[in-house]
Structure 1
Amino acid sequence: MLQELIDKKKKLAVIGLGYVGLPIALELARKVSVIGFDINSNRVALMKQGIDPSNELEKEAFDGCDITFTDSLEVLKEASFYIAAVPTPVDEHKVPDLTPVLRASETIGKVISKGDYVVFESTVYPGCTEEDCLPVIEKLSGLKNIKDFKLGYSPERINPGDKNHTLSSIVKVVSGCDQESLDVIAGVYELVVKAGIHKASSIKVAEAAKIIENTQRDLNIALMNELSIIFNKMGINTFEVLEAAGTKWNFLKFQPGLVGGHCIGVDPYYLTHKANELGYKSQVILAGRTINDDMANYVAKNVVQHLIKTVGNVKDAKVLVKGATFKENVSDIRNSKVADVVKALKAFYVNVDVEDPYADSDELYHEYGFRLAEKTGSSYDAVIVTVPHASYLSLGEDYFSGITKEDAMIADLKGIFRNKITNRTYWSL
C-alpha cells in the first residue's frame, strides 16, 4: 500500500477539510495523490480556487499539491487509503455528539474496497473508533476489519493559529488494528512528519493519549482560574503572582482565561462520558470543567458590579467586547466562551458591542445570535479585552481613554495591558 501511494498508483483521501483535515491533505498532496472530500459544496468550491475557508492557510499552501477537491462519493471511491478528520463536539448537555464521526463512517462504508485502509484523526473517547465507528463501516461495506481492510487511529495535533507547531514539526502518534497496519500507517505519516512517529500499542491507547493531552491542559487552566478568583478577593494581581512563581525552574506556566474552542473545552467531556458508562463518576476532571465553564459568568458578574457602582441603571450602560474568537489570531468561533460573556451581560440588559478583526459577523449571528458592531462607539462604561489578538497588543492608554468614560472599567482578561492602564479602573483575571 505505502509504495503504491508513493508511486501514485493508488490515492489517499482526507474526509473533512476543516482546521485539521485541510492542512493534512495539502501536506500529503506534496508526496502522494490526494482526494480532499467535504460535504460542504461551498467550502469545496473555495478550496478549488486555492482559498482556505478557515482562513488559516495562505494561497501558497495549495501550490505544488496533487489534490482533487470534491463532495462526490463517486470521486471518493477512487481512493484506497482514507483519513477521517471531522469534528467531535458535545451537545447542549455536554454529552458527546458522535454525529459527524458516524456520518464519516457511513461515507467510508459506502466507498471502501477490499485491501483499503481507514484512519480516524478525530478526538474521541477510548474505544470509539472500534466500538462505534467500525461496526458502521463493516455493516455498510460488507467487509471485515483485518480480513478485508485495515483500521487505524492517529490523533490530530494541529493547533489553529500556531505557525510554529505545525503538522510536520509535531511528533505523530499512530496506531493500527495489527502490526502490518501499524507499519503502513506510520509509513504514510512519515512522508510528511519530520518530528517523528510514535507507534502506540493499540488504537485505544492512541485515543486515550489524545484525550488526556487536552484534559491535562484543561485542569491546569482550571487551577489558574480558581487561583484568579481567590487572588481577586485578596486584591492580588494573578499575573504578577504567576510571574513571580514562574522564576522556579519546574513551575508550569499556565494562565487563567476563558476556555473554549473545539478541543480543551470539549475533549474532557468525552473521557468523563465514557468513564460514567463504565460506572465511574469523574471528580477531578469535572471539577475543572465546572470552574472553566463558569468563568464567562464570573467575568460578566465583575463587570456588571462595576456598572452598578458607576452607572446605576445597567440598562443605560454600554460595554465593548474586544475579541469574539475562542483564541487569539484565529477566525475560529467554535465553542467560544466570549459568546457566554455576551449572553451573560445581555441577561442584565447591558448594551453590548462586539468587535473582532478575525471573526465573521454572519457566522457569529448564525451560531450565537449576535453580530459584530458595524462601528464601535466612544463612550463605553466598560471594555472587555477577551483574547490577545496581535492587533490589540499595540493599543495603549490613549486608545482606551478615547473610547471610554472616565469611570469606565478595562477588563483585560489575559493581562496584556497590566501596568499600562492608569486612568481607568483596571481589572484582569
Structure 2
Amino acid sequence: MAYKIAVIGLGYVGLPLAHAFSEKYEVVGFDIAQWRVDELNSGVDRTLELSGDQVNEALANGMKFTNVLDEIADCNIYVVTVPTPIDEHKRPDLTPLLKASESIGKVLKKDDIVIYESTVYPGATEEDCVPVLEKFSGLKFNEDFFCGYSPERINPGDKEHTVTKILKVTSGSTPEIGKKVDELYASVIIAGTHLAPSLKVAEAAKVIENSQRDINIAFVNELAIIFNKLGIDTEAVLQAAGTKWNFLPFRPGLVGGHCIGVDPYYLTHKAQEVGYNPEIILAGRRLNDNMGMYVANQVLKLMIQKEHKVAGAKVLVLGITFKENCPDIRNSRVIDVIRELQEFGTDVSVYDPWADAEEVQREYNISLIEDIYATHYDAVVLAVAHDKFNGLDIDKLKNGNGTVVYDIKSKLEESDGKL
C-alpha cells in the first residue's frame, strides 16, 4: 500500500518531520496559519529548523503546504505535531490537539492511520483524541481507522541531533498497526526505532523524558542557591564533582521552552486525576519556575551593594529566547527576570540577535534594541548563551566600574555574580 502522509502542524516538530518523510513519500504539510503556509511556499522557514534550500528542495520534490482541509482528504497517514501547552493555571491545554483531531475526523477514511507526536499524558490519545475522531468521522476506532503514537524528540536549534538522527519511539493501537507505524518511521529515521508495546507506554515514555531533565536541573538550581549563600563557585563545584564517572553533567539555569518547562505538568495532572499527588516532580517545577525571580533579586542586591539607585537604573538583558542559538521564544523564562527587574523600577533593554522582533513585541510587549552600544548600563545580565554573544565587549556596555555583570550561564570570564 502506498502511503500519502499529511503532517498537521508545521512548527519546530512538524516541518522537519515532513521534510524527512518527503524523501520517500508523497507529503502534504497542513497548518491553520495562512502566513505560515505562505512563507513556506516562498521557501522561508522562520524557525530556522530547515534552510531555504531544504524547503525549496522539498517543494521541488513535490511536497505541498496548505491550510485547505480538502487538500489532505486523499491522505491515508495523518501525523499530528501541534503544540500541547499549559494554561495560566498550569493545567494541560489540549485545545490545539482536539481541534486537529476534529479536522482530521472530517476527512478520515476507512483504514487510515492517525499518528500523534504531540506530548500528552498517558491515555490522552485513546481517551481524548479518539472520541473526537470517531465523532467527526462516523468511523469506529480499531475497526475502521487506527492510531499510533510516536513522541517527538526535536531539539530546537540543534543541527547535529536532527530528526532522522534521533532514535524514535513508536507504537500502535493494535500489534499490527504498531508494526506498520514502526516500519514507516524506520524507513526515514537513520538512528533506528523502538516499538513500545502500547500507546500509553509511548506516551508515558515521552512525558518522563523531560520530567527527568526538569528534576535534575532543579537539583543543580537548588545547589546554586545554597552555594551562593556559602560563597562557593557553583561551576567550580560541578567541575570537581564531574570528575566522577557517573556524575550527571547538568548545569543551573532558567528552565523554559515548550518541553521541559511544560511537560511535567501533563504527568502531574494525570497523577492527580487518579488520586496521587506527585511531590518530587511538582517541587522541581516550583523551584525552576521561581529561578527568574531569584536571578533578578540577585542582580538588584548587587546593584544596591554598589550603591546604584535602583529606580530608573539602566539594565541590559542579553537574550530572550528559551535557549541558545535558537529563535524560539515560547515559554522563555527570561521574561521572569525582566518583569521582576521592571517591578523594581529599572529601565530594562533587551538585545537578542536570534529572536524575531515582531514576535517578541507581540508575545511579551517588549521592543528589542538593535544597537547595544548606543548607551551604557548600570547592570548587564547574560541570560542566554548565544554564540553570537562571544565577541561582545562587555566593558563598552558598562556605565563606569560600578556596573553589575551577572552571568546566568557561566559564559563570561569575569562577572559579579552567576548561578
- Name the TM-score, length of structure 2 as normaliser: 0.97
Shift of 1:56: 2.2
Give the unaligned 5+ runs of structure 2: none
1:99 matched to which residue of 2? Answer: 95
What secondary structure does 1:315 align onto?
coil
1:175 matched to which residue of 2? Answer: 171
2:23 matched to which residue of 1? Answer: 30
Structure 1 residue 415 corresponds to structure 2 residue 405: no
> Which residue type is aligned with residue 379 of structure 1?
H
Shift of 1:55: 2.2
Structure 1 residue 14 corresponds to structure 2 residue 11: no
**Within 5 Å, which residues of 2 pair with 1:15-414?**
15-62=8-55, 63-64=57-58, 65-376=61-372, 377-395=374-392, 399-405=393-399, 406-414=401-409
Q: Partners of 2:307 and 2:70 in 1: how far apart? A: 63
Deviations 1:219-240 (A, max 9, x none): 0000010000000001111111
Q: What is the aligned-residue RMSD (CA, Å)?
A: 1.1
Q: Partners of 2:312 and 2:353 in 1: how far apart? A: 27
Q: Is the 8 A contact 1:228 1:256 kept in 2?
A: yes
Q: Partners of 1:403 and 1:53 in 2: how far apart? A: 30
Q: Partners of 2:240 and 2:283 in 1: how far apart? A: 27
Q: Is the 8 A contact 2:91 2:265 kept in 1?
A: yes
Shift of 1:67: 0.7
What secondary structure does 2:416 align onto?
strand
Number of aligned residue pairs: 414
Q: Partners of 1:122 and 1:372 in 2: how far apart? A: 31
Q: Partners of 1:72 and 1:324 in 2: how far apart? A: 34
Deviations 1:16-43 (A, max 9, x none): 0000000000110110000100000000
Q: Partners of 1:55 and 1:24 in 2: how far apart? A: 14
Shift of 1:76: 1.3
> Which residue type is aligned with residue 40 of structure 1?
A
Shift of 1:309: 2.8
> Which residue type is aligned with residue 177 of structure 1?
S
Q: Partners of 1:371 and 1:209 in 2: how far apart? A: 39
Shift of 1:61: 1.5
> Which residue type is aligned with residue 20 of structure 1?
V
Shift of 1:205: 0.2
Q: Is the 8 A contact 2:48 2:157 kept in 1?
A: no
> Which residue type is aligned with residue 30 of structure 1?
E
Shift of 1:312: 4.1
Q: Is the 8 A contact 1:56 1:330 kept in 2?
A: no
> Which residue type is aligned with residue 411 of structure 2?
I
Q: Partners of 1:138 and 1:311 in 2: how far apart? A: 66
Shift of 1:57: 1.4
Deviates more, 1:247-256 or 1:400-409: 400-409
What secondary structure does 2:378 align onto?
strand
1:8 matched to which residue of 2? Answer: none
Q: Partners of 1:70 and 1:36 in 2: how far apart? A: 6
Deviations 1:286-317 (A, max 9, x none): 00001100000000001111222334431131
What secondary structure does 1:181 align onto?
helix
> Which residue type is aligned with residue 428 of structure 1?
K
Q: Partners of 2:306 and 2:242 in 1: how far apart? A: 36
2:418 matched to which residue of 1? Answer: 428
Q: Is the 8 A contact 1:32 1:66 kept in 2?
A: no
Q: Is the 8 A contact 1:169 1:194 kept in 2?
A: yes
Give the unaligned 5+ runs of structure 1: 6-10
Identity of aligned residues (%): 53
What secondary structure does 1:176 align onto?
coil
Q: Is the 8 A contact 1:378 1:402 kept in 2?
A: no
What secondary structure does 1:285 align onto?
helix
Q: Partners of 1:409 and 1:57 in 2: how far apart? A: 38
Q: Is the 8 A contact 2:308 2:378 kept in 1?
A: no
Q: Partners of 1:343 and 1:369 in 2: how far apart? A: 11
Q: Partners of 1:365 and 1:167 in 2: how far apart? A: 30
Q: Partners of 1:378 and 1:71 in 2: how far apart? A: 45
What secondary structure does 2:311 align onto?
helix
